[in-house]
Amino acid sequence: MSFVLEKSDRKLAVLVDPDRYTCGSALHTQLRSATPDLLLLGGSTLLQDNLETCIADLRSQYSGPIYLFPGSQFQLSPKADGILLISLLSGRNSDLIIGKHVEAAPLIKQYGLNTLGCAYLLVDGGRLSSVQYISQTLPIPRDKPEIALATALAAEQLGFATIYLEAGSGAKLGVPLDMVRKISAAVSIPIIVGGGIRSLEMMEKYFHSGANMLVIGTAIEEDPSALTEMLITARASAKMSLR
Protein backbone atom coordinates (compact mmCIF):
# COMPACT_ATOMS: atom_id res chain seq x y z
CA MET A 1 0.00 0.00 0.00
CA SER A 2 1.56 3.27 -1.05
CA PHE A 3 1.14 6.61 0.69
CA VAL A 4 0.54 9.85 -1.19
CA LEU A 5 0.82 13.37 0.21
CA GLU A 6 -0.66 16.33 -1.65
CA LYS A 7 -0.33 20.06 -1.17
CA SER A 8 -4.02 20.31 -0.22
CA ASP A 9 -3.77 17.61 2.47
CA ARG A 10 -3.96 18.03 6.24
CA LYS A 11 -2.81 14.64 7.48
CA LEU A 12 -1.54 13.13 10.70
CA ALA A 13 1.29 10.62 10.97
CA VAL A 14 2.21 8.85 14.19
CA LEU A 15 5.87 8.13 14.77
CA VAL A 16 6.59 4.86 16.53
CA ASP A 17 10.07 4.37 17.92
CA PRO A 18 10.72 0.59 17.89
CA ASP A 19 13.00 0.94 20.93
CA ARG A 20 10.13 2.38 22.95
CA TYR A 21 7.25 0.33 21.56
CA THR A 22 5.76 -2.58 23.46
CA CYS A 23 3.67 -5.09 21.55
CA GLY A 24 0.04 -5.10 22.66
CA SER A 25 0.50 -1.78 24.47
CA ALA A 26 -2.06 1.03 24.85
CA LEU A 27 -1.14 2.47 21.45
CA HIS A 28 -1.76 -0.91 19.87
CA THR A 29 -5.28 -0.93 21.34
CA GLN A 30 -5.88 2.69 20.40
CA LEU A 31 -5.09 2.04 16.73
CA ARG A 32 -8.11 -0.22 16.49
CA SER A 33 -10.48 2.76 16.71
CA ALA A 34 -8.22 5.70 15.75
CA THR A 35 -6.59 5.41 12.36
CA PRO A 36 -3.88 7.92 11.51
CA ASP A 37 -3.08 8.56 7.84
CA LEU A 38 0.36 7.03 8.20
CA LEU A 39 2.46 5.15 10.73
CA LEU A 40 6.15 5.97 10.63
CA LEU A 41 8.55 3.55 12.21
CA GLY A 42 12.10 4.41 13.17
CA GLY A 43 14.43 6.32 15.45
CA SER A 44 17.87 7.87 15.62
CA THR A 45 19.13 4.70 17.26
CA LEU A 46 17.94 1.12 17.28
CA LEU A 47 18.97 -0.76 20.41
CA GLN A 48 16.80 -3.84 19.85
CA ASP A 49 16.30 -6.00 16.81
CA ASN A 50 12.49 -5.74 16.89
CA LEU A 51 11.57 -3.81 13.76
CA GLU A 52 9.69 -6.68 12.16
CA THR A 53 7.97 -7.69 15.40
CA CYS A 54 6.73 -4.09 15.71
CA ILE A 55 5.44 -4.04 12.13
CA ALA A 56 3.57 -7.34 12.64
CA ASP A 57 2.07 -6.11 15.90
CA LEU A 58 0.99 -2.75 14.44
CA ARG A 59 -0.39 -4.39 11.32
CA SER A 60 -2.69 -6.62 13.33
CA GLN A 61 -4.59 -3.46 14.43
CA TYR A 62 -3.92 -0.88 11.78
CA SER A 63 -4.99 -1.11 8.14
CA GLY A 64 -3.24 2.05 6.87
CA PRO A 65 0.24 2.40 5.39
CA ILE A 66 3.31 1.68 7.52
CA TYR A 67 6.45 3.46 6.32
CA LEU A 68 9.98 3.20 7.60
CA PHE A 69 11.53 6.44 8.85
CA PRO A 70 15.05 5.11 9.23
CA GLY A 71 17.77 6.64 11.34
CA SER A 72 20.24 4.36 9.59
CA GLN A 73 20.54 1.75 6.86
CA PHE A 74 20.01 -0.92 9.52
CA GLN A 75 16.36 0.06 9.85
CA LEU A 76 15.08 -1.58 6.65
CA SER A 77 12.47 -4.28 6.35
CA PRO A 78 10.52 -5.86 3.48
CA LYS A 79 7.51 -6.06 5.79
CA ALA A 80 6.87 -2.29 5.64
CA ASP A 81 4.77 -0.72 2.89
CA GLY A 82 7.33 1.90 2.07
CA ILE A 83 10.06 4.21 3.21
CA LEU A 84 10.25 7.94 3.83
CA LEU A 85 13.56 8.38 2.08
CA ILE A 86 15.03 11.37 3.85
CA SER A 87 18.00 13.37 2.67
CA LEU A 88 19.40 15.64 5.39
CA LEU A 89 19.55 18.71 3.18
CA SER A 90 20.05 21.22 6.00
CA GLY A 91 23.36 19.53 6.88
CA ARG A 92 26.65 19.24 5.08
CA ASN A 93 27.27 15.59 5.88
CA SER A 94 27.30 14.10 2.37
CA ASP A 95 26.75 10.60 3.69
CA LEU A 96 23.32 11.63 4.99
CA ILE A 97 22.46 13.63 1.89
CA ILE A 98 23.17 10.80 -0.58
CA GLY A 99 25.79 8.29 0.69
CA LYS A 100 23.61 5.99 2.83
CA HIS A 101 20.91 6.11 0.17
CA VAL A 102 23.28 4.64 -2.41
CA GLU A 103 24.19 1.85 0.02
CA ALA A 104 20.55 1.11 0.77
CA ALA A 105 19.10 1.50 -2.75
CA PRO A 106 19.61 -2.08 -3.99
CA LEU A 107 17.97 -3.48 -0.84
CA ILE A 108 15.05 -1.02 -1.05
CA LYS A 109 14.53 -2.13 -4.65
CA GLN A 110 14.79 -5.82 -3.73
CA TYR A 111 12.32 -5.38 -0.87
CA GLY A 112 9.87 -3.66 -3.25
CA LEU A 113 9.35 -0.77 -0.83
CA ASN A 114 7.39 2.26 -2.01
CA THR A 115 9.53 5.37 -1.63
CA LEU A 116 8.64 8.94 -0.76
CA GLY A 117 11.64 11.21 -1.40
CA CYS A 118 11.93 13.82 1.29
CA ALA A 119 14.22 16.79 1.85
CA TYR A 120 14.81 16.75 5.60
CA LEU A 121 15.52 20.12 7.19
CA LEU A 122 16.58 20.09 10.81
CA VAL A 123 15.56 23.26 12.64
CA ASP A 124 16.77 24.30 16.10
CA GLY A 125 14.16 23.01 18.57
CA GLY A 126 15.62 24.74 21.64
CA ARG A 127 17.70 21.78 22.80
CA LEU A 128 20.29 19.40 21.40
CA SER A 129 18.34 16.77 19.48
CA SER A 130 19.28 13.14 18.81
CA VAL A 131 19.22 13.88 15.06
CA GLN A 132 21.66 16.74 15.56
CA TYR A 133 23.96 14.68 17.74
CA ILE A 134 23.91 11.51 15.62
CA SER A 135 24.14 13.32 12.28
CA GLN A 136 26.75 15.78 13.54
CA THR A 137 25.05 18.53 11.58
CA LEU A 138 24.00 22.03 12.57
CA PRO A 139 20.27 22.77 12.68
CA ILE A 140 18.92 25.84 10.89
CA PRO A 141 18.67 28.68 13.46
CA ARG A 142 15.10 29.48 14.51
CA ASP A 143 15.50 33.15 13.65
CA LYS A 144 16.77 32.48 10.12
CA PRO A 145 13.66 31.58 8.11
CA GLU A 146 15.46 32.83 5.00
CA ILE A 147 17.99 29.97 5.28
CA ALA A 148 15.18 27.45 5.66
CA LEU A 149 13.34 29.03 2.73
CA ALA A 150 16.38 28.95 0.44
CA THR A 151 17.01 25.30 1.38
CA ALA A 152 13.36 24.44 0.72
CA LEU A 153 13.50 26.15 -2.67
CA ALA A 154 16.65 24.18 -3.53
CA ALA A 155 14.83 20.99 -2.49
CA GLU A 156 11.95 21.78 -4.82
CA GLN A 157 14.30 22.67 -7.66
CA LEU A 158 16.19 19.40 -7.14
CA GLY A 159 12.94 17.48 -7.58
CA PHE A 160 12.23 16.28 -4.03
CA ALA A 161 8.64 15.12 -3.53
CA THR A 162 8.24 16.55 -0.01
CA ILE A 163 9.96 18.76 2.58
CA TYR A 164 10.14 17.71 6.24
CA LEU A 165 10.69 20.52 8.74
CA GLU A 166 12.00 18.77 11.83
CA ALA A 167 12.61 20.31 15.26
CA GLY A 168 13.72 16.93 16.67
CA SER A 169 11.81 14.43 18.76
CA GLY A 170 10.90 15.90 22.14
CA ALA A 171 11.84 19.41 21.01
CA LYS A 172 11.24 22.15 23.56
CA LEU A 173 10.13 24.44 20.76
CA GLY A 174 8.49 23.27 17.57
CA VAL A 175 9.41 24.57 14.11
CA PRO A 176 8.54 28.31 14.07
CA LEU A 177 5.12 28.93 12.49
CA ASP A 178 6.48 31.81 10.48
CA MET A 179 9.04 29.46 8.88
CA VAL A 180 6.30 26.97 7.94
CA ARG A 181 4.16 29.78 6.52
CA LYS A 182 6.93 31.25 4.38
CA ILE A 183 8.02 27.89 2.98
CA SER A 184 4.51 26.66 2.35
CA ALA A 185 3.70 29.83 0.40
CA ALA A 186 6.86 29.60 -1.67
CA VAL A 187 6.99 25.95 -2.74
CA SER A 188 4.45 23.78 -4.50
CA ILE A 189 5.52 20.50 -2.90
CA PRO A 190 3.88 19.31 0.35
CA ILE A 191 5.34 20.17 3.74
CA ILE A 192 5.68 17.78 6.68
CA VAL A 193 6.28 19.25 10.15
CA GLY A 194 7.39 17.37 13.25
CA GLY A 195 9.10 17.66 16.59
CA GLY A 196 7.64 18.92 19.86
CA ILE A 197 3.98 19.01 18.75
CA ARG A 198 1.96 18.35 21.88
CA SER A 199 -1.34 20.22 21.73
CA LEU A 200 -4.40 20.43 19.50
CA GLU A 201 -3.93 24.19 19.39
CA MET A 202 -0.41 23.77 18.04
CA MET A 203 -1.68 21.31 15.44
CA GLU A 204 -4.30 23.78 14.26
CA LYS A 205 -1.73 26.55 14.00
CA TYR A 206 0.61 24.39 11.92
CA PHE A 207 -2.17 23.32 9.57
CA HIS A 208 -3.31 26.91 9.29
CA SER A 209 0.28 27.91 8.40
CA GLY A 210 0.30 25.46 5.51
CA ALA A 211 1.67 22.20 6.94
CA ASN A 212 0.29 19.28 4.92
CA MET A 213 1.17 16.55 7.41
CA LEU A 214 2.16 16.63 11.06
CA VAL A 215 4.28 13.91 12.64
CA ILE A 216 3.66 13.27 16.34
CA GLY A 217 5.65 10.81 18.41
CA THR A 218 6.32 11.69 22.04
CA ALA A 219 2.87 13.11 22.93
CA ILE A 220 1.10 9.97 21.67
CA GLU A 221 3.72 7.70 23.18
CA GLU A 222 3.01 9.32 26.57
CA ASP A 223 -0.76 9.32 26.15
CA PRO A 224 -2.06 7.11 23.33
CA SER A 225 -5.66 8.16 24.05
CA ALA A 226 -4.73 11.67 22.80
CA LEU A 227 -4.69 10.25 19.28
CA THR A 228 -8.50 10.36 18.95
CA GLU A 229 -8.75 14.13 19.53
CA MET A 230 -5.68 14.75 17.39
CA LEU A 231 -7.30 12.93 14.48
CA ILE A 232 -10.50 14.96 14.91
CA THR A 233 -8.38 18.13 14.74
CA ALA A 234 -6.59 16.95 11.60
CA ARG A 235 -9.87 16.00 9.89
CA ALA A 236 -11.44 19.37 10.81
CA SER A 237 -8.40 21.21 9.44
CA ALA A 238 -8.62 19.18 6.24
CA LYS A 239 -12.25 20.22 5.79
CA MET A 240 -11.37 23.89 6.42
CA SER A 241 -8.57 23.80 3.86
CA LEU A 242 -10.97 22.60 1.18
CA ARG A 243 -13.27 25.59 1.65
Q: Where does this chain touch ligand 1GP (CB under 6 A) — which range of 50-58, 80-88, 106-114, 165-173?
A: 165-173
Residue 166 is a binding residue for ligand 1GP (CB under 6 A): yes
Quote the DSSP letter at residue 140. B
Q: Rounded CA gap, 61 and 16, in Å?
A: 14
Number of chain residues interacting with ligand 1GP (CB under 6 A): 14
Binding ligand 1GP (rule: CB under 6 A), the pick from 19, 134, 170, 238 is 170
Binding ligand 1GP (rule: CB under 6 A), the pick from 194, 206, 224, 237 is 194
Half-sphere exposure (Cβ direction) of 216: Cα atoms closer than 13 Å: 26
Binding residues among 3-22 for ligand 1GP as defined by CB under 6 A: 15
Pick from 200, 196, 207: nearest CA to 173: 196
| 23: CB partners within 8 A, 6+ apart | 53, 54, 57
Binding ligand 1GP (rule: CB under 6 A), the pick from 83, 89, 122, 171 is 171
Residue 160 phi, psi dihedral angles, 5° rounding: -65, 150
Residue 241 is a binding residue for ligand 1GP (CB under 6 A): no
Amino acid, res. 17: D
For the bound state, the minimum distance from the C-beta of residue 112 to ligand 1GP, rounded and expressed in Å, comes to: 25
The residue ranges that bind ligand 1GP (CB under 6 A) are 15, 166, 169-171, 194-197, 215-219
